[in-house]
Amino acid sequence: MKKESDEILVEDIWNEQKKAGLKEFILSESAKQSEERRLRNELLAIQYRMQDYIESENPTNMLRLMDFVKMYLHTLNVTQKKLAELFEMKDSNLHKYLVGERKLNADLVLKLSSFSHVDPEYWFRVEVKNELIEINKEKAKAKDYQKYDYRNLLAAS
């Protein structure tokens, strides 16, 4: 039977010299990567964060489409204005969609998908996720909505 004292601990195998050596190794291996590959690493990280946000049960912070677009713009070092030009839209118009003032449509979803190389469905699901979060917040006020019960219509007629 395994005992506590038999267990190998992470601390037992690490020292400063080893830590520095590994850091150097990863930095040298990373330096051999192409710019394209390094960019891909950054873009994949955003994509995985988006997937995790969609699948999270109780996200601590609401992330809007704008937040994910900002992550891409920051990584690619381009402005929202440039993105609007690429999308053949007015910057102010694009902004309204990204902050949720306007509902996403298929055209913009496909543009975002093409821009980010992320499945169009994910962009839609971020918006739906946020709507569900809003609905769950509103559920606390369920009493205020009881007057909309169909039975009230029947009773009145």
What is the size of the binding site for other proteins (CB under 8 A)?
32
In this structure, are residues 126 and 65 in contact, taking their beta carbons and an 8 Å threshold?
Answer: yes
**Two structure tokens written together for 51:** 């997937």
Question: Smallest distance from the beta carbon of 34 to other proteins, in angstroms?
Answer: 11
Task: Please state the closest distance from residue 47 (CB atom) to other proteins, in A.
Answer: 9
Q: Is 128 one of the binding residues for other proteins (CB under 8 A)?
A: no
Nearest to 104 by CA among 84, 120, 117: 120
CA dist 84 and 87 (Å) reads 5
Question: What one-character DSSP code corresponds to residue 59?
Answer: -
Contacts to other proteins from residues 5-64, by CB under 8 A? 7-8, 10, 13, 18-19, 21-23, 25-27, 29-31, 33, 37-38, 40-42, 44-45, 48-49, 51-52, 55
**Between vectors from CA 34 to CA 31 and to CA 40, what angle results, nearest 5°?**
110
Q: Which residues bind other proteins (CB under 8 A)?
A: 1-4, 7-8, 10, 13, 18-19, 21-23, 25-27, 29-31, 33, 37-38, 40-42, 44-45, 48-49, 51-52, 55
